[in-house]
Amino acid sequence: MMSLSLKNYGIFNSYNNYQLTPYELQNIILDKKMGVETKSGVIAVKTGLFTGRSPEDRFIVKDSITEKKIWWNDKFNKSFDPKKFDFLYQKIVKYLSDKTLYIRDGYLCSDKRYQLNVRSISEYPWSDLFIHNLFFRFSKNIKSIFPDWLLFCAPGFQSNPLNDGTRKKNFSILNFSKKIILIGGSGYPGEIKKSIFSVLNFILPTYKNVFPMHCSANVGKYKKDTALFFGLSGTGKTTISNDINRNLIGDDEHGWTFDNVIFNFEGGCYAKIFDISSEKEPMIYHSIKKGAMLENVIIKKETREVDFSDDSITQNMRISYPIYFVKNIEKKLFSSNIKNIFFLTYDAFGILPPVAKLTKNQSFYYFLLGYTSKVAGTEINIKEKPIATFSSCFGAPFMPLHPIQYTNMLMNKLNNTKINVWMINTGLTPEGGRIKLNDTRKIVKNALDGFLSKVPYEIYPIFNFKIPKFCPGISSKILNPINLWKNKKTYKKRIETLAKKFINHFNIYRKYTKENILSGGPILG
């Protein structure tokens, strides 16, 4: 077992475990009683108070690099004082001293032109296991690397908001000058993933001319056509892109290069598994094996089997696993030949149709606004009913630059191309139930296979996008929501109310946008 000194980081007298294997980490987790092993041999942990992200506690140090580039706001991109950061850093390294720590060198970005080396220093062994599963892993022949960034993960450390400049005792802070991430007070591993995603979302467009995207991606096995699936957690990115007939590039975070290569940021997957089954999501289900890590699941005492339907801890129960666990993976984890883009939207009002084909201007408009709903568990305080929201670029909490900058990158990618852009509603029907997953899969398959380009369309009122009159394998009745609304007056009121939400939210961006983007929105008479 190789060790690595941390004295140059200000951490002293610690016992340092470097590059432990998943099996070594699993044994340590069990020995420390920080997790339990399921019947199938998978380790399961509980992440404590936090079972979802806390986006309001993500900060960025405001300095000469970031001051004029970040889209500062009080919701996601909160500024942090450099001196406060230095003070907090010293407190954290002192806290980590004299402890058993877990160090890992990994990297991000499957396209080696953009590789970002990251050294993580974790207080908990299961944080290190998560990083092993989600980051790309160096060859065993490489003893150590020079890190581009450092990541400190100290769930047991709590800040003092009055003295340290944080909002609460938990925090995630990015420092682009010192290339350091500090995470404390929360054991939810999603904070690790989204912090490094935020770093790439700043670096790649600012310095590398790469369009970073909160999307999953797959490629056809025979036609080699690439499809992108944008959407917030819970809208179906992972589920729908895991298609047995296509090869997965990645399930969450990708870059689109100047020469039209789509590449995965990560070396693993982080999937919601509430109510999962081999029938519903076979590819994810069959990745639940030793080496993976389960979060916040309920295990039956008698059999040690996982009850995936028991959400007494959270609906945001998750699994992390290396991407090579996926059977039909695109081995290089990058591709080109982009043919279809899907915006996955969870409409909580039963108004939007299950599928609509968007014009280019509508594509820019809906990408900029990112209409969807926050689904139970993915963030703290989202516990029961979905909450309608707008998340610009379908990933506002992870986008440090102004949303119009990412939208302009999408415009540059789509102009002068024949890429199809679709809005897919995975939310609620007028009856109140969720649109059936099998129906969504069939719709996406017909779009990918080109059948939806051959059917007749009609214009959906107010929103003015095209919806198909026919889709193979789908009841034509569900393609237009008005068919399912018994009370047409209520429908008219609801569609107008939703349109007003779009129009009012667009006012935030109006002064930054061109007329063509505005023309893509709904129009009230």
| 380: amino acid identity, one letter | I
Residue 164, both tokens: 């340290």
Is 254 among the catalytic positions? no
Is 14 among the catalytic positions? no
Is 505 among the catalytic positions? no
- Active-site choice (111, 252, 311, 347): 252
CB neighbours (10 Å) of residue 468? 25
Is 194 among the catalytic positions? yes
- Give residue 103's pLDDT: 97
- Active-site choice (91, 119, 132, 194): 194
Q: Quick one: CA dihedral 343, 349, 355, 361, positive or negative? A: negative
CATH number assigned to the domain covering 7-32+53-207: 3.40.449.10
- The Cα 20–Cα 22 span in angstroms is 7
22-31 and 125-134 helices, crossing angle to 10°: 160
Is 286 among the catalytic positions? no
Give me the helices (H) in 32-117, please.
82-96
- Give residue 1's pLDDT: 45
Q: What is the mean pLDDT of each run of 10 residues along the chain (525 residues)?
A: 81 96 98 96 96 94 98 94 98 98 97 98 98 94 84 98 96 98 97 97 98 97 96 86 92 96 96 91 92 97 94 94 94 95 94 96 96 66 67 94 96 94 94 90 96 95 96 93 92 94 93 88 90
Q: Which CATH class is domain 211-267+332-518?
A: alpha beta
Is 237 among the catalytic positions? yes
- Active-site choice (318, 339, 360, 402): 318
Is 252 among the catalytic positions? yes
Q: Which residue has the tokens 């408009």?
A: 365
Q: Which CATH class is domain 270-325?
A: mainly beta
Q: Which residue has the tokens 């996601």?
A: 76
Length of the chain: 525
Residues 6 or more apart in contact with residue 474 via CB below 8 angstroms: 354, 439, 442, 443, 446
- The two beta strands, 226-230 and 318-322, are unpaired
- Active-site choice (14, 38, 47, 53): 53
- The Cα 245–Cα 327 span in angstroms is 11
- The Cα 29–Cα 519 span in angstroms is 55
- Give residue 3's pLDDT: 62
Residues 6 or more apart in contact with residue 106 via CB below 8 angstroms: 117, 118, 120, 131, 132, 135, 136, 137, 138, 267
**Residues 326 and 195: beta-carbon distance below 8 Å:** no
Domain boundaries, the chain: 7-32+53-207, 211-267+332-518, 270-325
CA 454 and chain centroid, separation: 33
234, 303, 318, 457 from 378: Cα distances, Å: 8, 29, 10, 35
- Give residue 383's pLDDT: 52
Cross-strand partners of 55: none
Is 278 among the catalytic positions? no
- Give residue 172's pLDDT: 98
- Active-site choice (91, 237, 339, 402): 237
- The Cα 401–Cα 404 span in angstroms is 8
- Active-site choice (47, 54, 238, 426): 238
**Residues 156 and 91: beta-carbon distance below 8 Å:** no
Cross-strand partners of 248: 218, 329
DSSP string, 330-341: -TTSEE--EEEE
- The Cα 452–Cα 421 span in angstroms is 12
Residues 6 or more apart in contact with residue 67 via CB below 8 angstroms: none
- Active-site choice (47, 66, 186, 233): 233
